Structure formats: structure tokens, C-alpha cells
Amino acid sequence: MPEYTILTALSVIIVIALELAWFRTGIFATAQYWIALAIVFGFQILVDGRLTKLPDPIVIYDPTEMLGWRFPWDIPIEDFGFAFSMVTLAVVLWRRALGRRRVGAEQTEIKGRAGQ
């Protein structure tokens, strides 16, 4: 299997596994996440479609390193996998960090009340 395809599949699997088994932020159950992903993919189609269009590409991929499936406007299908992985991991880490900040703030507030 082509290297770009393998790395795409691995990134998707690893990010999903991290969310479901370790971080457990619950983003896959929220409409906000799926709406954000749709917005990202919408803009990705506009930009990536221009960058990879076959008649006049700005970015050229080695065809031996990917499946060769392109959708829509000549966008390599692997690009969507990497976009999913990057956006999902960023959202998971962001939510995890915000959760820790909230817990820290709550503990500080509780300690402050106890000291009064």
C-alpha cells in the first residue's frame, strides 16, 4: 500500500483511539464538533481543490505514494484523512486543556472558601 495512504490511515486510527480510550472528551457525540469539521472540510475543498487540480497543480503528489482516488476537484482522498486527524487532535487537546483549567479553577475556589 502507498506510504501516504498508510500514514493517513494510521493517523485517523491513532487519533480516534486516543480520543476513545484515553482523552475521552466526548467530542464525537457533539454537534459542535461535526459542524466544525464540516466547515473545515468546506474550506479545505476550496483551497485544496485549487492547489491540487490536475490541469494546473500547485502541489504535486507522487502518484506511487497514494491510492490515486481524487474527490472533488482532484483532491487526493488522503488529504481529508489528514485534515480529520489534525482538526480532531487539536480539538481534543484543546478540550482536555480547558477541562484541566476548569478543574484547577474549581479547586482554587474551594481552597479559597475553606480559608475564609
Report pLDDT for 106.
Answer: 53
- CA pair distance 9, 41, nearest whole angstrom: 17
Task: Pick the closest to residue 76 from 51, 108, 110, 94 (CA basis).
Answer: 51
Taking only the tens place, the pLDDT of each residue in 38-65 is 999 999 999 999 999 988 999 988 888 8
Domain that holds residue 11: 3-114
Cβ atoms of 75 and 45 closer than 8 Å: yes
Give the chain's domain count: 1
Q: pTM for this structure?
A: 0.80
Give the chain's residues under pLDDT 50: none
Report pLDDT for 95.
Answer: 92
Report pLDDT for 98.
Answer: 84
Report pLDDT for 73.
Answer: 83
Grid cell of 13 as nine digits: 486510527
